[in-house]
């Protein structure tokens, strides 16, 4: 029984490490897509936390909580993905295609050109 409790605590610590990494990516993530990906991982890891809490307190009702979190998290991810796709810019202007134009001579120029054509298409 002692080994099981130790394993449970270690597993919870590891899961929380994953959650903290996801929260850091949620804060610093340069594009909106990064933030949605990290939110998706946070909801998925919360299901794992719920299962571990069920084992820690020996209350099986926490598994229902995990099922509900999984349902709502999937809907949230789908809604955010649709929102990103229909919004004007999915990224901050600071990192606009930075470094992607390996064959293009002037990277910033192509970025600004792309921005302009997008803006014109929207009008």
Q: Which segments of the chain does DSSP mark as H helices, in order?
A: 2-28, 32-57, 61-86, 107-122
Asked if 95 interacts with another protein (CB under 8 A), we say yes
Closest Cα to residue 39, out of 26, 27, 58, 53?
A: 26
Among 90, 106, 108, 119, binds another protein (CB under 8 A): 90
Instruction: Looking at residues 50 to 79 of the shown chain, list those that interact with another protein (rule: CB under 8 A).
Output: 51-52, 54-55, 60, 63-64, 66-67, 70-71, 74, 77-78
Binding map of another protein across residues 21-40, x = CB under 8 A, - = no contact: xx-xx-----xxxx-xxx-x
């Amino acid at each position: 029984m002692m080994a099981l409790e130790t394993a449970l605590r270690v597993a919870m610590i590891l899961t929380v490490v994953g959650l903290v990494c996801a929260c850091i990516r949620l804060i610093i993530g340069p594009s909106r897509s990064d933030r949605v990906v990290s939110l998706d991982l946070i909801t998925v890891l919360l299901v794992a936390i719920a299962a571990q809490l069920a084992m820690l307190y020996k209350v099986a009702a926490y598994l229902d909580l995990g099922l509900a979190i999984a349902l709502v998290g999937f809907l949230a991810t789908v809604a955010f993905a649709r929102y990103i796709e229909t919004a004007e810019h999915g990224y901050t202007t600071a990192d606009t295609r930075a470094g992607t134009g390996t064959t293009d001579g002037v990277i910033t120029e192509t970025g600004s050109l792309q921005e302009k054509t997008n803006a014109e298409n929207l009008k």
